[in-house]
Amino acid sequence: MEETESVFTSVCSVLISNQAPVLESLRLRFSSDSSAPIDVELWISIAYLHRVCELELDVVGPSSFKLPVNYLYYRDLDTLKLKNFVLVDCPDHHRYLKYFMRTLHLCYVNCKNDDSVANFLSGCHVLENLVVSRRRWDHVKTFTIAVPTLQRLEICDWNWNGNGQEREQEFGYYEINAPCLKYLKIKGTRDIRFRLVEEMMIANSDEEDLPRIRNVSLSSRSSLISEIAFPKYTIFHQLVYLELCTSQAMWCNLLTLIINTSPRLQVLKLIGCGWEVCAGRWIQPKNVPECLETFVWNCCKEQQEQEKGVAKYILRNANRLKKARIIMKEFNSQERLKMLQEFKSVVKASNSSCNILVVDNET
């Protein structure tokens, strides 16, 4: 008891003694077993008095700390980072609360249920940057992200079970409604499904009203990541950069799907990850975007034949391609030279004036 009181007093003393007009950031790392919720709420209140801009709550287990969502309405709070044993419980009667942070990190937190996620994020009415990292003790099956102001979204779903094995029965499902999204990055191990809901499409077909996703990076070993469900319309009308990991099954058809809806794509990067997967029968794109200028292929021996056909198609049909970079880390000099000659013949037969380079590293 004395130790707990000492920690509480020490934290309060440090916060109160701070003389800076604005507290740029505050990180509170504590155990929910040794710090009472009322103590944490008081620490947060004192930080608010010092106009804290960035607040991080990192909770040590094994029990979870219930996040006081009604304490997060502070207008000067620009960034909130929640880590580890934080319980996000936002029932329906809290769904109308408004939060003013522009950046939110949810790193391995425990969300009570699907509604808690949806209600909490719907209250983030000016949120621009969201980072979501998840693992085995998450109780959410459908993770709904409906944030009209969101511009940057990163999702990392490791999806482990209690035995250190990847879950076989359950999978993460994401529903994303973010019409202003400019950057989307998805990374994980397996059993992840995504749906960009059609509500994010504006009825008006004017160019400025279309969703503005500009960068997409997809990386997963899952076959289900290829089941990303896109609306029928051109949702990637502003996309200029695409990075796709080739380690998931049917990756080439996911590539086709995105290319067909990305007329302004300028940079395409394929990342081989060293797994042997079944790419299935490739359905070629209708055409290669006219704006494509840069193509990068990070080649792995295990998948080179599957990926080579896609690479050749890009080189053969990208008429405005200026630069192609083939990275071959695991190959000897003779193999790299053979690949260079093979690709040069493809470029020569096309209408492009592409400068092709085969290297053994990414630098």
pLDDT score for 209:
45
Residue 121 clears pLDDT 80, i.e. is over it? yes
Residue type, 161: N
Residue 354 clears pLDDT 90, i.e. is over it? no
Higher pLDDT, 301 or 147: 147
Q: How many CB atoms are located within 10 Å of the residue 24 CB?
A: 11
The C-alpha angle with vertex 228 and arms to 222 and 233, in degrees rounded to 5, equals 160
Determine the average pLDDT of the residues in 125-153: 88
CA dihedral 61→66→147→160, nearest 10 degrees, is 30
Determine the average pLDDT of the residues in 129-144: 84
Sign of CA dihedral 302, 304, 309, 315: positive
Sign of CA dihedral 262, 263, 264, 268: positive
Higher pLDDT, 127 or 355: 127
98, 73 Cβ separation under 8 angstroms: yes
% of the chain exceeding 70 in pLDDT: 74
Higher pLDDT, 205 or 258: 258
Measure the CA–CA gap between 283 and 275, rounded to whole angstroms: 21
Residue 16 clears pLDDT 70, i.e. is over it? no
Helix pair 304-317, 333-349: axis angle to 10 deg:
30
Determine the average pLDDT of the residues in 268-274: 79
E-assigned strand segments in 91-221: 103-107, 110-111, 129-134, 142-146, 152-157, 172-177, 183-188, 192-196, 215-219
Kindly report which listed range (105-109, 180-184, 230-234, 262-266) carries the lowest average pLDDT score: 230-234
125, 149 Cβ separation under 8 angstroms: yes
Residue 168 clears pLDDT 60, i.e. is over it? no
Residue 295, classed as helix, strand or coil, is strand
Residue 4 clears pLDDT 80, i.e. is over it? no
| pLDDT, averaged across the chain | 79
165: tokens are 């094995």
Determine the average pLDDT of the residues in 188-192: 61
User: Which sequence spans correspond to the domains of the chain?
Assistant: 2-266, 267-363
Length of the chain: 363
- Residue 205's pLDDT band, with cuts at 50, 70 and 90, is very low
Residue 66 clears pLDDT 80, i.e. is over it? yes
pLDDT score for 22:
74
The DSSP bridge pattern shows strands 129-134 and 86-88 to be unpaired
pLDDT score for 282:
81
**CA nearest 309: which of 354, 274, 279, 264?**
279
Residue 225 clears pLDDT 60, i.e. is over it? no
Helix pair 2-17, 37-49: axis angle to 10 deg:
10
**What is the strand order of the sheet 65-66 is part of?**
65-66, 86-88, 110-111
Measure the CA–CA gap between 319 and 127, rounded to whole angstroms: 39
Higher pLDDT, 330 or 56: 56
Determine the average pLDDT of the residues in 316-335: 87
Mind listing the pLDDT tens digit for each residue in 27-39?
A: 888 888 878 888 8
pLDDT score for 93:
82
Measure the CA–CA gap between 99 and 74, rounded to whole angstroms: 7
Residue with tokens 């740029």: 24
